[in-house]
Amino acid sequence: MLTDAAIRSAVPSDKTVKLSDGGGLYLELAPSGGKWWRLKYRYGGVEKRISLGTYPLTSLKAARQARDQAKKQLQDGSDPSALRKSAKATPTLPGPDAHDQIRVLGYFGRVLPPEEEHEELALDGDFGRSRIAFHADLMSTPEPYKMLSLYAIDVDDDGTSTRFVDGGHAVRLLPPVLRARVEPLRAYSIMPQVQSHRDVDYDPPAFMPGSSKPVIIDHPVTGESILYVTELQTARIEGLPQAESDALLAELFSYLYAEDEIAEHHWRTGDLVVWDNISLQHSRADQSETGARRLRRVIVADKGFYEVCPEFTQGDPKIVAWGHGEKYTAEEKTSLSINRYTRPV
């Protein structure tokens, strides 16, 4: 059986680790450091899993109580997962519909209509269940999206999350010598072939959209300095040989992606999150064990994806491959290991 001390001292690895507490209850320790309670059970001869929240928001005691409640539901002949879905189907408070979400985003600029962009993101859609590394939508194009929003239509409450880092804050963390070194430099970023982890070549394929921008940009609205490189999209620092470019990017990433600089939103059905796609980068963990994650996305931008990137079409095999953590041109799936970046001492 688990103890709070054992949970707090658990160290993440490059793969998801399951820490069993008994009775089907276990704590899932993600490579990112996130800790999710899961309950595994059988109903009608079929193995199922449900999320019971995240630790420490859901304590060890509370997780055990939730497990015991689910066991009682099974003894009564009910499926705990089906009971949850039934409860969500009749909420006590109505959530905003798409028109409300569009109206809110309209205060920030032009909202892309549904026909120009994905309206809902689900685990059975183009982006699948794989991890998605830190990125800013379309930052590798001349016209990245301005604002993003997600509304949780149906999720495993506290069982899935989105993580954020702030490029504006990261600039202020850079030592003066490092900032002075990178301010005159430019970085080349691409739309990567793999979404799940950093896997961009120094000289990326010519067929993938890419663009060159300063390593530190000025925010187009606020004028704030933004560190504008991402682990998913930035291929190289221009003008530097590969070894020097890779080393410099790793050093910048150590400030961007330090664990104490990451904010994590744990989704609950009915949540609405709106963020600046220029200043902030976002990511998500692997969703293999997630039962439900259906989010509605509404975007503020001057142009939609297929207008900015006319070389792609709906259902493009490259997009489907990205969502499943695969390289479009690869014969085998690539590893889903996570790069870790350590600040210099």
User: Can you give the pLDDT of all 345 residues of the chain as single tens digits?
Assistant: 889 888 888 888 888 889 999 999 998 888 877 788 888 999 988 888 888 877 877 788 888 988 998 899 899 899 988 877 665 544 433 456 778 888 899 999 999 887 666 567 777 666 667 788 999 999 999 999 999 999 998 888 878 899 999 999 999 999 999 999 999 999 999 988 788 888 888 988 777 789 999 999 999 999 999 999 999 999 999 999 999 999 999 999 999 999 899 999 999 988 999 999 999 999 998 887 777 888 999 999 998 888 887 777 655 565 555 544 455 543 333 333 334 455 554
Of 37, 65, 89, the position where a domain reaches its end is: 89
Residue length of the chain: 345
By DSSP bridging, strand 35-43 and strand 46-54 are: antiparallel
How far is Cα 324 from Cα 171, in angstroms, rounded to an integer?
32
Per the structure, the complete domain to which residue 153 belongs is given by 98-323
pLDDT of residue 330: 39
- Whether 343 is in a domain gets the answer no
Q: Is 9 exposed, middle or buried, given 0-12, 13-18 or 19+ CB atoms closer than 10 A? A: exposed
Residues 43 and 106 in one domain: no
Question: Which one, of 203, 281, 200, lies nearest residue 238 by Cα?
Answer: 203
pTM: 0.71
pLDDT of residue 258: 92
Q: Give me the amino acid identity at 32.
A: S
Contact 126, 319 (CB under 8 A): yes
pLDDT of residue 56: 77
- Whether 345 is in a domain gets the answer no
Residues 179 and 238 in one domain: yes
Residues 80 and 102 in one domain: no
Residues 9 and 133 in one domain: no
Residues 274 and 136 in one domain: yes
Q: Domain total for the chain?
A: 2
- Whether 124 is in a domain gets the answer yes
How far is Cα 319 from Cα 195, in angstroms, rounded to an integer?
10
- Whether 335 is in a domain gets the answer no
Residues 319 and 176 in one domain: yes
Q: Which two tokens stand for residue 58?
A: 């859901």
Residues 292 and 211 in one domain: yes
pLDDT of residue 335: 33
- Whether 332 is in a domain gets the answer no
- Whether 40 is in a domain gets the answer yes
- Whether 318 is in a domain gets the answer yes
Residues 106 and 79 in one domain: no
Residues 27 and 130 in one domain: no
Residues 173 and 244 in one domain: yes
Of 33, 68, 89, the position where a domain reaches its end is: 89
Q: Which two tokens stand for residue 309?
A: 């990137």
pLDDT of residue 41: 92
Q: How many CA atoms lie within 13 A of 130 on its CB side?
A: 23
Compute CA distances 247 → 184, 197, 336, whole Å. 17, 17, 21
- Whether 336 is in a domain gets the answer no
Residues 36 and 164 in one domain: no
Residues 240 and 279 in one domain: yes
